[in-house]
Amino acid sequence: MEGSATSNQETWLSLQLLLDSALPVGSFAHSFGLESLVQDGQIQDGASLRAYMEAMLRHSWAASDLMIIKAVYHSSIDEGDTYAYQIEELVHLQRLAPESRDGMEKIGRRLLKLAPELFPSMSALFRRVQDDIRYGRCLGSYPLVYGLICRGLRVPLDQAAEGYLYTAVATCVNAALRLISIGQTQAQRITASLFQSIAISWANVKEMDPADAYSAMPLAELAMIRHETLYSRLFMS
């Protein structure tokens, strides 16, 4: 009984490590189109930022990225099952902006490079995925690598999915702190106010077939596409 409790505690703490905004994977350098929306005047304050993130939760992040994570939990990459790789490619090609595709790959591959130091018991799996990236069998995008680590840690899928959505919100809020006039207290208040939306967004797609993954945020996609043409930029995407 005590051993089980210790194992659960280690799993929970390991998940917190993955969700930490200080994890050095480079996500701080990407706004994924938010910078374009701010320069266009579409997002100017906390209220418009929150509305944007709620829409992204329900119509993009949950219906696309979470399908990669769900596919990871229903495949066995370490045994040669490529189902998760197929879903990763499907979702990745739906990202219309080259900067966004590149950003998700860079963050994922940095996490994969860091992972053996944090989770040495899974080093063999990480080497397998690195080989698969090298030979073009997968892309190594962030949701794929995150999902693999969570599954390896035996994090329940519900927690892994909601945790991923939390990191998406946190990354967006951290970018907004550098782009619009909001303070740290308001930023935390906005993040906390989206907890219910995170749960609802996952619940809405929990039974969805990963092969039906989609994103329905054309305004955001256009902002991501236009980002590379901005006159001045703080972010890589």
Can you give the CATH number for the domain in which 101 is found?
Answer: 1.10.4190.10
67 lies in a domain? yes
Going residue by residue through the chain, which has 237 residues, state the pLDDT in tens, using 9 for 90 and above: 444 444 666 778 888 889 988 889 888 887 888 888 889 889 999 999 999 999 999 999 999 999 999 999 998 877 777 999 999 999 999 998 888 899 999 999 999 999 999 999 999 999 999 999 999 999 999 999 999 999 999 999 999 999 999 999 999 999 999 999 999 999 999 999 999 999 999 999 999 999 999 998 888 888 888 888 877 777 776
Count of domains for the chain:
1
Does 150 map to a domain? yes
| Closest alpha carbon to 26 in 139, 107, 99, 114 | 107
5 in a structural domain:
no
Question: Is 236 within the bounds of a domain?
Answer: no
Question: Are 31 and 224 contacting, i.e. CB atoms less than 8 angstroms apart?
Answer: no
Q: Is residue 89 part of a domain?
A: yes
* Residue-number span of the structural domain to which 173 is assigned: 30-229
Does residue 64 contact residue 214 with C-beta atoms inside 8 Å? yes
183: which residues sit within 8 A by CB, 6+ positions away?
none
> In terms of pTM, does the model score above 0.85?
yes
Is 118 domain-assigned?
A: yes
